[in-house]
Chains A and B, each alone.
Chain A
Amino acid sequence: MAKTLYDKIWDAHVVHEADDGTCLLYIDRHLVHEVTSPQAFEGLRLNNRTVRAPDKTIAVPDHNVPTTLDRANGIENPESKIQVDALDKNAKDFGIHYYPVSDVRQGIVHIVGPEQGWTLPGMTVVCGDSHTATHGAFGSLAHGIGTSEVEHVLATQTLIQKKSKNMKVEITGHLRPGVTAKDITMAVIGATGTAGGTGYVIEYCGSAIEDLSMEGRMTVCNMAIEGGARAGLIAPDEKTFAYCMGRPHAPKGAAWEAALTYWKTLKTDEGAHFDKVLTIKGEDIAPLVTWGTSPEDVLPITATVPSPDDYTGGKVEAVRRSLAYMGLTPGQKLSDVAIDTVFIGSCTNGRIEDLREVAAIMKGKKVKDGLRAMIVPGSGLVRAQAEEEGIADILKDAGFEWRMAGCSMCLAMNPDQLSPEERCVSTSNRNFEGRQGRGGRTHLASPAMAAAAAITGRLTDVRELG
């Protein structure tokens, strides 16, 4: 029978299937960070359990770490410090791979995994973090899990799962200038809504997806969860293999050849069944921004703020609440909305290519006076590379703060936070109320759009900058 890519990866990992279809799925890579793991390690200790496969378990602190240049002096917030210290200790006690804050390879877990060659095609990858979907860009089945499941994977290297349905999202044609991977993924959520993918694993395909670099594909898969999907996948191709080759934990020599032979089989068969299909023309996607407090609240930058009357059902009240929270009026032009802050970073857009994109726009330009503009590279290695390429200097000269790696203002668990009513254009993935700081107002956008906004001090169509 013709199989989808998801079917193939699933079938290759089933350890046991119960009569009702509940499966025990083998996990190839388990990524761990400091926020969702302490209770899981505690559970192991209480039950005298060990980590079953420490060589497949990788830990890195990212959510709580300060991103200031002086962070080597330690973490000021006592609770954050306890969590990071706990991860230090747990990694040591249980013998798992670890990249501490002091290591240049430290960064956001979803950036470190691919960068170090832990994430490879055809794998199952889990992490106690919903944006694990990022790793799907390699054609690996990757999704977020809760802390109880973290403990379950630590103890058994398996996960209890029921199979999801298959959904195909095809982006045909090619993107227009000024439109990026971030706009693709936001356009999909705008089309499906935040619950449209619930119960599905999405495979993204089509020429506009094939055109993307690995970085762009990671951006697309990263936000699959924002559309409610369990995971997002992209079939591996020559770009994928080229990205993986030579990474520290990628196979070498004969093992590489064997892996490559297998990886080339990882694509959806002709005629395989999808339970749901969404097709979007690449040419129809415009640079997008969010106006509300749900990632489905996306509009082209050329649009105006909607009114609650444009909606039905429970969404009417949600829109009213969003507009009040965001301080926006129906009918107002999005490109007239003045901003206070620009945040560039996160596991969605904190990779080298994102920084290159921002630098290309900022070259010879300045961040508008009075604006707070911050760049937080996704990992220490991204930061180092940007410095080597001269990008860091362009960005600093333009007026951006140049930070150390971490999650930072994506979720504001460290001191990088918005104040009430501070309005931010952010390259991250969630615009929920309070996400970037209590009362803070978030507009999600691509790195290019964030750079454009940094120059003008308002939401701006990057295509107008010329």
Chain B
Amino acid sequence: MEKFTTLEGVAAPMPLVNIDTDMIIPKQFLKTIKRTGLGKNLFDEMRYDAQGQEIPDFVLNQPAYRDAKILIAGDNFGCGSSREHAPWALADFGIRCVISTSFADIFFNNCFKNGILPIVLPQSEVDKLMDDAARGANAVITVDLENQTISGPDGGTISFDVEPFRKHCLLNGLDDIGLTMQKAASIDAFEAQYKTAAPWI
């Protein structure tokens, strides 16, 4: 997994609440058997019309945000299906950080597995960042994971929380499976006692 240390970039504002995973990546793109290549279809039905032409009003189609690395989003971002294609599409587009007041549980988890940092902040701070983001390319935002800070274009900084284990994995680009494999002895022991305690399983 790609490491996440500091990220500097333009943030795209998406104030809509309840942006679901069907909006992030509609189901017709779930037929792939690969993890890559989904960026061009990120937000497909909001981004392109029925003829496949870009909808100019959509934020990621505007010149200032075509290379956005951060999303500032409304409440409950990523609700809906468990499709990891949603973070794959974001990452493939180049978005490595999403900031909102709340996230859906499975999406939140999936982000960390793919080098994307989801940050939860209080409404007032999300509002402030949303205003910053509205200034487009003039407003570069820096996210520093090590120090857990976000610096806005005007010099102010905001602190954020992240679980220590998840932070450690992101900073070092660690793969969960390898880490768990190191605990094979505990899994063996669990299975051994389980065979007697609950043989029907």
A residues in contact (CB < 8 Å) with B: 15-16, 18, 20, 22, 24, 26, 28, 35-36, 38-39, 42-43, 47, 49, 52, 56, 63-64, 77, 79-80, 82-83, 86, 120, 122-123, 128-130, 143-149, 151-152, 155-158, 160, 162, 194-195, 198-199, 228, 230, 250-251, 255-256, 258-259, 262, 294, 296, 313-315, 317-318, 321, 411-413, 420, 430, 432-435, 438-439
Shortest CB–CB separation between residue B39 and chain A, in angstroms?
16
Q: Is B146 interfacial (CB 8 A cutoff)? A: no
Q: Is B152 interfacial (CB 8 A cutoff)? A: no
Bound-state Cα–Cα, A52 to B184, Å: 11
Q: Is B151 interfacial (CB 8 A cutoff)? A: no
Bound-state Cα–Cα, A315 to B76, Å: 11
Task: Evaluate whether A198 and B76 lie within 8 angstroms (CB atoms) in the complex, with A20-B163, A413-B28 already known.
Answer: yes
Q: Is B148 interfacial (CB 8 A cutoff)? A: no
Contact A318 B17 (CB under 8 A): yes
Bound-state Cα–Cα, A194 to B27, Å: 20
The closest CB in chain B to the CB of A254 belongs to: B199
> Which of B50, B75, B82, B87 gathers the greatest number of chain A CB atoms within 10 Å?
B82
B33 CB contacts on chain A under 8 angstroms:
38-39, 42, 82-83, 86
A411 CB contacts on chain B under 8 angstroms:
27, 81
B186-201 interface (Cβ within 8 A of A): 186-187, 190-191, 194, 198-201
Contact A413 B27 (CB under 8 A): yes
A251 CB contacts on chain B under 8 angstroms:
199-200
Contact B104 A162 (CB under 8 A): no
Cβ contacts A to B, 27 pairs, < 8 Å: A20-B165, A26-B191, A36-B84, A39-B33, A39-B35, A42-B33, A43-B177, A86-B33, A129-B81, A146-B82, A147-B110, A148-B113, A156-B180, A194-B18, A194-B76, A258-B199, A259-B198, A296-B18, A313-B17, A314-B17, A314-B75, A318-B18, A318-B74, A413-B27, A430-B80, A432-B20, A433-B45
A262 CB contacts on chain B under 8 angstroms:
198
The closest CB in chain B to the CB of A64 belongs to: B31
Contact B104 A35 (CB under 8 A): no
Task: Evaluate whether A24 and B186 lie within 8 angstroms (CB atoms) in the complex, with A195-B79, A294-B18, A314-B75 already known.
Answer: yes
Bound-state Cα–Cα, A64 to B27, Å: 10
Contact A256 B200 (CB under 8 A): yes
Count class of interface residues, chain B: 35 or more
Contacting residue for A15 out of B26, B35, B74, B186, CB 8 A: B186
Shortest CB–CB separation between residue B25 and chain A, in angstroms?
11
C-beta contact mask, B120-140 vs A, less than 8 Å → 1, else 0?
000000000000000000000
